[in-house]
A and B are shown apart, each in its own frame.
Chain A
Amino acid sequence: MAESEKEIVVEDPTAPAEDSPAVAGTRTVGLVVSLLLMAFAGLMAFDNWRTGMGWAPDGPKAGYFPFYLSMILGGASLYGLVAALLKRTGAEQVFVNRDQLRRVMQVFIPTCLFCLVTQWLGLYVASFLLVAGFMRVIGRIAWWKSLATSFVFAAAMFVTFDIAFDVIMPKGPIEALFGH
């Protein structure tokens, strides 16, 4: 084992390929983001105008500060939009390619599911499922290792937060069985 002491090697067999086809370009996404920000700024400006963006006898009304901020936000986004439209560049930068998107979704979708499950079964059960599932399905780690790791992890979290530090997490029917 002399070699492994000198060197640490970790492989990543499912790494995204460099030449994977692009899903979206940075410029396109930039345009969409600008449009969304402008829409958001417009919505906020409207709400603040409704709240009152002028001056009361004792100073600015509640909507004054945020109204002008939404104007700045809208203006800056408009500037970004126009600048991006006017800029004519040859090759567009890749925002995300297909392999990368696949990997990002591999984390993002389980995370969303985790949040959903937390709502119904509590945080500890959800985290057990997330860690075990992720290690097994995406990391292709042996069943027993995945289950053992996630059980130890969930138990350690429970002891740290609920017992040692008194930080109470959402709990579901399974914790209720044990009287928590």
Chain B
Amino acid sequence: MEALGLLLHGFEVLLTFKTLSLMMVGLVLGIFVGVLPGLGGPNGVAILLPLTFTMDPTSAIVMLSCIYWGALFGGAITSILFNIPGEAWSVATTFDGYPMAQQGRAAEALTAAFTSSFIGSLVAVLLITFLAPGIASFALRFGPPEFFAVYFLTFCSFVGLGREEKHKTLISMSLGLLLAGIGMDTVSAQLRMTFGWSELYRGINFLVAVIGLFGISEILLTMEERLALRGHAAKISLGVVLRVWKDLPRYWVTLLRSSAIGCWLGITPGGAIAASFMGYNLAKRFSKDKESFGKGRIEGVFAPETAAHASGTAALLPMLALGIPGSGTAAILLGGLMVWGLNPGPLLFVEHKDFVWGLIASMYLGNIVGLVMVLSTVPLFAAVLRVPFSAIAPMIVVSCAVGAYAIQNAMFDIWLMLAFGVIGYVFKKVAIPLAPFTLALVLGNRAEDSFRLSMIGAGGDMRVFWSNSLVGSITTLALVLLFWPLVAGAIGRMRGAPVKTTA
């Protein structure tokens, strides 16, 4: 039970006035960001990242992760009250949440959403607490070939398991890896792909790209839509909260199932969006009364919210233990780690105990405080939507510019951000996924370095990736996942079952 002792130490780190107040600020900003149209978890975290540049890493990560929890909570408010999912992962919450609000049960639906969010992330945090240190200490034995194999596995699973068209995922990923390579080559100190343009010598900063891709492009996309909204105001009374909580044990199967789905999809690059839909669909399939789903059934709120939160939280596990983010937001937090001067990877657990356990402790505390806060302040945040978008849009643009500039104090980065905004807008509309791009951009240099270090170590022999059972099985698994659609098809044919074609 070494983890418990370290966790207690984490709470000690956390329980200072400064950290606690940063936590509250983070949660408020996060809920705000989650409620606003055109902003969400990843963009919110990316835009607010510059605030943390001058903080110590522990305070910084506590504030940023609280923004993330807040955004996860906030997404549910607009889904239920206005039938507008503030986040893609809250789409499934609207199916039953909005009908409940229409029937005058908005308070009940909101309580259900917040409570199940809390349960989902709690399960995921427990998983992180007890699993992450083990994985990290196992990964300490990794050399460059093993690390390259793990990166390779991450990339391959995106291509093989993603629901987007394969060539589009491949485009997105290779473009991200290419852009990551621009500038000074870390191994040979040679400049490449700069075409003599001095602004490019530094390389393309990951966070600048993310702010453009998610922040600016999201504003452009939001403007295309009809922004009128009509919804219910709600106040949550203590009576409703207690009534919903009293009924909770009846839904333990749904809650547990959704948590498990969420944790699994969070660690693998499935993501919160897939998790919320899967949680909802499975709850519906296993229900005795399928017809009542979509008409205001409380289980239809529990299932997707639990899964989305579990997945959003579990995505931090591979980031902490291996330095590989499980989601877009985790990738941004990873980018933050580098800005604060930490080196992501398994060594974090050894070299920066305060940081890691402070973060894990803040996940517990942040979710509890967030739950209380969001339950008591819903009317306030719902009213935020009354603020006209023509006032919010330019402020978001300014925040994006501040974020992009602050990273390296370069005006060029503001222009770069604008360019990425256009790229993100076009890519989203032609269905090229952005998540692989983000992941590739943040991992690109590290993946290449580990590849070249393994090559140098092995004298250029590719068989190094099968030189022992560990690295061999990871590499093989990666290749299996890469060609998973073909493999699954072959297995299906061997069984004689009709092959299901996926579009």
Contact = CB atoms under 8 A, between A and B. Distances in A.
Contacts of A80: 165, 167-168, 171
B230 A7 contact: yes
B50 interface: yes
Given A26-B429, A47-B192, A131 B398 contact: yes
A155 interface: no
Interface in A99-153: 100, 103-104, 106-108, 110-112, 114-115, 118-119, 123, 127, 130-131, 133-135, 138-141, 149, 153
A29 B181 contact: no
B232 interface: yes
Contacts of A95: 429-430
A48 to B, nearest CB: 7
Nearest to B55: A165
A9 B229 contact: yes
Interface stretch (B86-94, B290-298, B378-386, B470-478): B378-386
A170 B223 CA distance: 28
B227 A168 contact: no
Interface string A68-100: 011011001101100100000000000110001
A10 B228 contact: yes
Contacts of A165: 50-51, 53-54
B137 interface: no
Contacts of A133: 394
B244 interface: no
Contacts of B181: 65-66, 69
B397 A111 contact: yes
A12 interface: yes
Nearest to B194: A47
Given A80-B167, A118-B414, A161-B50, A59 B228 contact: no
Interface string B147-183: 0000000000000000001011011001101100100
B398 A157 contact: yes
A42 to B, nearest CB: 12
Contacts of B425: 104
Interface stretch (B313-321, B328-336, B401-409): B401-409
A25 to B, nearest CB: 11
B232 A6 contact: yes
Given A8-B386, A106-B223, A165-B54, A123 B232 contact: no
B193 interface: yes
B105 interface: no
B190 A62 contact: yes
B27 interface: no
Given A7-B233, A26-B429, A141-B390, A115 B414 contact: yes
B388 interface: yes
A59 B456 contact: yes
Interface in B352-398: 382-383, 385-386, 388-391, 393-395, 397-398
Interface string A1-26: 00011111111100110000000001
B411 A29 contact: no
Nearest to A166: B54
Contacts of A33: 426-427, 430, 432
A123 B220 contact: no
A167 B452 contact: no
Interface string B447-489: 0100110011000100000000000000000000000000000
A81 B115 CA distance: 47
Contacts of B231: 7-8
Interface residues of A, number: 77
A111 B223 CA distance: 13
Interface string A36-68: 010011001001100100010011111101100
A37 B193 contact: no
B216 interface: yes
A100 B222 CA distance: 10
B193 A48 contact: yes
A169 interface: yes
Most B CB within 10 A of own CB, among A65, A103, A140, A141: A65
A60 B455 contact: yes
Contacts of A153: 395, 398
A161 B399 CA distance: 11
B401 A114 contact: yes
Given A8-B232, A135-B391, A123 B401 contact: yes
B236 to A, nearest CB: 14
Contact of B388 (A8, A66, A118, A139): A139
Nearest to A161: B402
Contacts of A167: 50-51, 53-54, 402, 406
A29 to B, nearest CB: 6
A130 B50 contact: no
Interface string B219-259: 11001111111111100000000000000000000000000
A10 B385 contact: yes
B220 A107 contact: yes
B188 interface: yes
A34 to B, nearest CB: 8
A37 B173 CA distance: 13
Contact of A15 (B190, B226, B391, B460): B226
B418 interface: yes
A123 to B, nearest CB: 7
A66 B178 contact: yes
Given A6-B232, A59-B456, A135-B391, 13 more contacts: A7-B231, A8-B82, A8-B385, A15-B227, A33-B426, A62-B185, A70-B174, A76-B170, A76-B171, A115-B415, A118-B411, A165-B51, A169-B406
25 contacts: A6-B233, A16-B226, A44-B193, A59-B452, A60-B452, A62-B190, A66-B181, A72-B174, A79-B167, A83-B167, A107-B223, A110-B397, A118-B414, A123-B405, A127-B394, A130-B397, A131-B398, A134-B391, A134-B393, A139-B390, A153-B398, A165-B53, A167-B51, A169-B405, A170-B411
List 3 tightest A-B contacts by C-beta distance, closest first: A139-B390, A12-B228, A15-B226
